[in-house]
Structure 1
């Protein structure tokens, strides 16, 4: 076959394995292919062992791992966590009487039974649990004989009309309407603070088990005539874990779609099965190793196994395609496997390193859950180096491909071009390329304008991780509509370790901050030592309204604080050194949190002293504000690192700054357009979406690497831009298009996932897979027309692997050695 008609490279066609010199190629290649059986045996043994480990991999979540551990707000919270009970991980159970109000003997009896069972759930911080049946919920009243008070639930309650009327009076006197009792008094709340570890076993709280227990209790008591609504991190995490079972079905559908499309392309069962099997083997190894090093699968790392599978399929399909085309030319399957290994190993290794970097840079995000994801994914990519770059060619050297598939591959690469190939070749025409580049610039500028509106954090009320019509979000909506105090709490931590907080100056400063917070849009109301102490001060003076104030007299103020501590022990610690100011927010959207943070920081800058400090932040909204700041800081820092490392890897591979520009510029366009898409779809940058943005760069470079590796090789051999691109399309370009379309279709199935952030990931990944493919097949050749012209000295030696694509005359001159094939 003459050079002009050969669409591959100049490696000689060797039809008999006896004519191939096993001493040719690099030392590493000889080490792999001259010890094939040992490698296959070792991989089989490892797969069996790690498969057993993978079956034991647990599924859980962690409240602490969702917090940016070294953020100043979180450090402040953890330093004072013992004095801020109830402002961390908690559950809210609302028990509704759909057929009446709460003053119903049957309702009260059901509430008592449920309260007692909730009290005994694992991980409950029982000292701070609140409900109508908890004695810590008290009422206080001033009478002509002095103070009077007691538990809201009468100690002699017997279900009689008199007892119910007494309960009604106590509820009004306690001021819990809107907090523990609904505004319409048709439901009441059980507030359940949780510990991160089970107090009995000492093990981390099992959210799946807790969710199952809660669902069982809910089902048990709803048949008794009440309706139950549950919100809180533990419920959300449990729902996400439960939803993983459904997500796995979508992953299975995606894997089947990938298999079907690859088979439709190859029409070869054995090679398709090996590509899928090696990619699944990498997933098994990754899951098994996760168990061995003590990790569990959580809702935010659930995408990792599929990403490993997708990356493996992408690389495996390139190896399979190269071997298939060589066999179609008449090369023996063993020799074809080694040829493909020589051509594509460096490109594949560089691409996998770029993928690994895309995952590894996530570790700069100061959120343990994301750092765990980064480590787990990096391990998975390292495994792919073994399973898809080494094991797959070895297996294909044994099995080869079907004769019909090889012949079909040869027919598609013998110069009789498909209309799609002819269409893509038009992008090497300078006139067409000019318009493509101008259109790309215009599209990128438009994307930049839109992406400026990209928000950090949640953009929706409720739990945006779930669908708006999910049970959790319906429950959240019910509680928001029927209770005055929302579940979105932002707590400012007031500390005074030396002089304590039971002095007039400190309490007045707390009152000033409360007043400013109450005037802020997005804040429903506030609560603190100051606001709770005012009516209690008046109660000590016959309830006179003029005494609803903060008194300068130390004795009066101290009595007021004692009463607050007795009624609400979470509002000040026993040492009077820590007290929270809690702002109840209308939602936890990014704008709401930002306005609160800005106000409190400004107040603290003016009013902090050497002893008295106003520190941010506690409460679920305070923790989310810290998370948003961490994500905002890491977003562009992370992208900058990804691009920097990808550029270095491409430079090492291509040895040409022009080739690096050609490879990287389409990725930059994808990043800009992905951010614009997030704006249009109402998706904010947060913990769930941040990894996808980085992965789009790390995985997207794969396409350009495979295409440009072959393109540069042919360009250096004297081909024109058009001819070099044609041959690249016929060798690796077809598979780039195949994988781009395949993976886009596969992840698009996630759109129907019950977990909304999973659906968001599916949309973003499908867009990135597809647009990176378009960038490689359209923008890369258009850039190459101007940046990679075949002039002497323009393209330096690409890399040892590309140099290995030259004619191997020594393979024909050396004495042949036999090898088992």
Structure 2
């Protein structure tokens, strides 16, 4: 069976080298064709892609978002530093913003609410009954007396004072919602920002928050992101050139990365997928895998030349034959770990899974096949491009690795790894699902967006919203005193949560109408005594309102009503606590007239995403590990192999998750793809090291395990060291990104690479030496002889 597989691999390698012109021509033509599509791919963020469509919260959100408020609400706060907003200049600025918002592309004109909008009204009693008069529409009051009257009207309106005008009267809030189907974040950000900038000055500051603004900032930093990406690639080229000392060691790995990227982006365009700017980090991570595989082949090629192979063609063939199996195994394992993200029912995750899987699979051609084929054309393989030689430094590091894993220090390595696994595994449970900090985790805390969010939350109940729907069993349910009292108690219950700044519902409006009807007597700030009386109050309210004014509170039949909760932050724990409290109240205060249904608005959408990620992340990791075990078991025909290779993966995951918990990085929709791909990342290096040991034992006719480990670390280990160190140093540039998410993910990538490299160089050979698994050493292996210590100081060529 072994000979059959080996013969098949040898035949494939022989075919690729013999038909190298055809191989390169075919790959070149396909790459050229895919590049046409790759340059047409759309790079943008779509909020719809972030929603788990099958989640019940999303069903409620989609059903009621046009009336009760969607997930694209933008909050604009005008704040004065001296005096209050009740002066002609500031009021005219509020009016200007309110009017100009109507011309922004994709805006829902019926959901523009501010002091200057027609929806904000003063409820007054008169001899003719109740009047509903807009507070500041259509004109701004001109005289000091009229402005003073406006101030008094605002302070006497519980629906305005504190909600749209701050308690200290120094800020006014304007909210606007966008149609999900027509909003373009880049356009909305540009137009709303222009409106905001036009009213700044004269002692007025303007602050903006909301999904269109957040993702507008992400698009704003896209040129910077691409620049950092190019600088990182440039830095990577320099480091590869210095460490490899050859053009082949520099150009071929980069060529492999470019070919893979072109095929993946071309596939994305053909599938009509957009590329989210935030997944550029994932793109770099996959490109790093391609470079890593190619570097292994170039390093093995150099070793074949150094060991006496004169022909570049023969050296390329030997390199490809030796590394084809671990290379393909690494590619399949990476792809398998990536495709399991498809199980998460979120469009963005599924797009990333499909594009990422295609991207990883292309490495099999761009690196594992194309690199050795191109190496076969090298005319002067023994020449170097520059005199700087870093190999002595690399060799000293590898000698340390060899000394540790082939002496009693190997037990210290394994015990230390076990201790780190236990400690990090326990601490990893502190990882937050969802956002771990106030503001947006995508941007730095000192960013303009997060400062604006902090300013709005300081003046008003909260910029983030969730609506809960009271779904009545029949029309008119919202007029029943039992229902209104239940909603009122629900609002008080939710208000006890510190992060909930305020709430708003029809239960806040009807008592005001009742009080006004009774000449402002505060005794009547209550609901009607029965359903009919509340119906009359509701009729008065409806008759004095414009069409659409009541949509944010109830539907026309008064069967379904919203309870809008204002949050000061949308951290994962805040959202989970709110959802738990809503469910607790619903269970404890059930009524026959209806029930509460979760949940809509931005916070409702995030609640659905967090719940999907909480269940899906465990499922994804479990399936990814299962894929890894299956790949290893099939490749080595041993279940022990699958368990054996889980060690670096599990260690890398627990340690990285614990670091995320310590640094306050939450497991959210942006970090999950990186975590899933990291499972495959944690095992690639180990494949090359272990397979190198196995190859030396089985194909060189000896049973010297120490020699096999030494040879593998000096060959495959050299490639691991070059790749890991080069990529780790390269990603340092991402720490200068204005997007906090990219900087933190780059840090995690560096940590992941370091852990994976350390596991491959120390833990895996130590485990082979101590446990001597049969899939590596076979059944006839004897105790390895003791090797004199001086052998570790020899040059790499002598070790080979």
Shared fold (TM-score, shorter chain, > 0.5): yes
SS of equivalent to 1:174: coil
Aligned match of 1:679: 661
Distance 1:652 1:52 in 2: 38
Q: 234, 245, 249: which one pairs with 2:227?
A: 249
Does the aligned pair in 2 maintain the 1:355–1:698 contact within 8 Å?
yes
Aligned partner of residue 369 in structure 2, secondary structure:
helix
2:39 — aligned with what? 55
Q: Which residue pairs with 1:395 in the alignment?
A: 374
SS in 1 for 2:110: helix
**The residue matched to 2:13 in structure 1 has which SS?**
helix
- 2:77 equivalent in structure 1: 94
Specify whether residues 522 and 228 from structure 1 end up closer, same or farther in structure 2 by C-alpha distance, changes over 3 A only: closer
| Counterpart Cα distance in 2 of 1:406 and 1:346 | 31
Mapped to 1, the partners of 2:180 and 2:605 lie a distance apart of 15
Query: Given that residues 78 and 94 in structure 2 are in contact (C-alpha distance below 8 angstroms), is that contact kept between their aligned partners in structure 1?
Result: yes
User: Which moves more between the two structures, 777-786 or 289-298?
Assistant: 289-298
Corresponding residue to 2:417 among 440, 443, 460: 440
Pick aligned residue for 2:447 from 464, 467, 470: 470
Change (3 A) 1:396 1:220: farther
Q: Is the 8 A contact 1:154 1:167 kept in 2?
A: no
> Residues 656 and 795 of structure 1 are in contact (CA less than 8 Å); yes or no, is this contact kept in structure 2?
no
The correspondence of residues 691-770 of structure 1 with structure 2, limited to 5 A, is 691-716=673-698, 717-770=701-754
After superposition, give the CA deviation of every residue in 1:569-622 in whole Å (9 maximum; x if it has no partner): 301011222211122223222222222211211222344567612111112222
Look up the match of 1:183: 167
Determine if contact 2:117/2:137 at 8 Å carries over to the other structure.
no
Residues 385 and 610 of structure 1: is their aligned pair in 2 closer, same or farther, counting only changes over 3 Å? farther
Say if 1:425 and 1:726, in contact at 8 Å, map to a contact too.
yes
Tell whether 2:429 aligns with 1:429.
Answer: no
Match of 1:538 among 515, 530, 550: 515
Matches of 1:113 and 1:739 in 2, distance apart?
57
Structure 2 residue aligned with 1:16: none
Whether the 8 Å CA contact 2:394–2:721 is kept in 1: the answer is no
1:270: how far off? 3.5
The alignment partner of 1:418 has SS state of helix
Which of 527, 544, 553 does residue 550 from structure 1 map onto? Answer: 527
* Contact 2:689–2:765 (Cα < 8 Å) also in 1: no
Q: What do residues 76-121 of structure 1 show as CA deviations (whole Å, max 9, x unaligned)?
A: 222333442x243111112234455323323333333332222111
Task: Find the counterpart in structure 1 of residue 618 from structure 2.
Answer: 636
Q: Contact 1:492/1:615 (CA < 8 Å) preserved in 2?
A: yes
1:548 to partner: Cα distance: 1.8
> Hey, what's the Cα distance between the residues in 1 that align with 2:777 and 2:709?
19
Distance change (3 Å), C-alpha of 1:36 and 1:429: closer
The unaligned stretches of length 5 or more in structure 2 are 1-6, 782-800
CA distance in 1, matches of 2:59, 2:449: 30
Using a 3 Å threshold, how does the CA distance of structure 1 residues 792 and 446 change in structure 2: closer, same or farther? closer
Does residue 602 (structure 1) correspond to residue 584 (structure 2)? The answer is: yes
Q: Does 1:351 align with 2:334?
A: no
Unaligned runs of 5+ in 1: 1-22, 199-204, 798-821
Give the C-alpha shift of residue 506 in structure 1.
Answer: 2.3
Q: Residues of 1 paired with 2:673 and 2:776: CA distance? A: 42
Q: Does residue 284 in structure 1 map to residue 267 in structure 2? A: no
Following superposition, the deviation at residue 724 of structure 1 comes to 0.7
* Partner SS, residue 581 of structure 1: strand
Which residue does 1:489 correspond to in 2?
465
On the 8 A contact 1:715/1:790 being kept in 2, the answer is no
Report SS of the residue matched to 1:525.
strand
In structure 2, the CA distance between the partners of 1:156 and 1:206, relative to structure 1 (3 Å rule), is closer
Q: Give distance in 2, aligned partners of 1:513 and 1:676.
A: 38
1:376 to 355, 362, 371: 355
Cα-to-partner distance string for 1:258-315 (whole Å, 9 max, x where unaligned): 2222212221123411221221122122223222221222133222321221111001
Map 1:794-805 to 2 at 5 A: 794=778
Question: Could you report, residue by residue, the CA deviation over 1:309-356 in whole angstroms, capped at 9, with x for unpaired residues?
Answer: 111100110111122222332331222222222111221111011111
CA distance in 2 between counterparts of 1:748 and 1:38 reads 40
Q: Quick one: distance in 1 between partners of 2:780 and 2:212?
A: 58
> Which residue of the partner structure matches residue 524 of structure 1?
501
Q: Distance in 1 between the 2:326 and 2:769 partners? A: 22
Question: How many Å separate the matches in 1 of 2:391 and 2:135?
Answer: 82
- Please give the per-residue CA displacement for 1:219-252, whole angstroms capped at 9, x wherever unaligned: 3333676422110000001111222322222222
**What corresponds to 2:794 in structure 1?**
none
Q: C-alpha separation between the residues in 1 aligned to 2:563 and 2:574?
A: 17
**Does 2:474 correspond to 1:498?**
yes
Rounded to whole Å, the distance in 1 between the matches of 2:374 and 2:268 is 26
Corresponding residue for residue 14 of structure 1: none
Query: Equivalents in 2 of 1:191, 1:672: separation in Å?
Result: 43
Distance 1:107 1:67 in 2: 38
The residue aligned with 2:798 is: none
Q: Is 2:631 the counterpart of 1:649?
A: yes
Answer whether contact 1:361 1:642 (CA < 8 A) is retained: yes
The 1:407/1:346 distance shift into structure 2, 3 A limit, reads: farther
Cα distance, 1:703 vs structure 2: 0.3
Q: 1:165 and 1:154, CA in 2 relative to 1: closer, same or farther beyond 3 A?
A: farther
- Deviation track 1:113-170 (CA, whole Å, cap 9, x = no partner) reads 3322221111101012112222121111234653233111154546333443343344
**1:550 CA drift (Å):** 2.1
Q: Is the 8 A contact 1:137 1:151 kept in 2?
A: yes
Q: Secondary structure at the match of 1:754?
A: coil
SS in structure 2 at match of 1:196: coil
Compute the TM-score of the two structures, normalised by the length of structure 1: 0.88
Paired with 1:220 and 1:340, the residues of 2 have a C-alpha distance of 65
Deviates more, 1:372-381 or 1:112-121: 112-121
- Alignment match, 1:5: none
SS at match of 1:287: helix
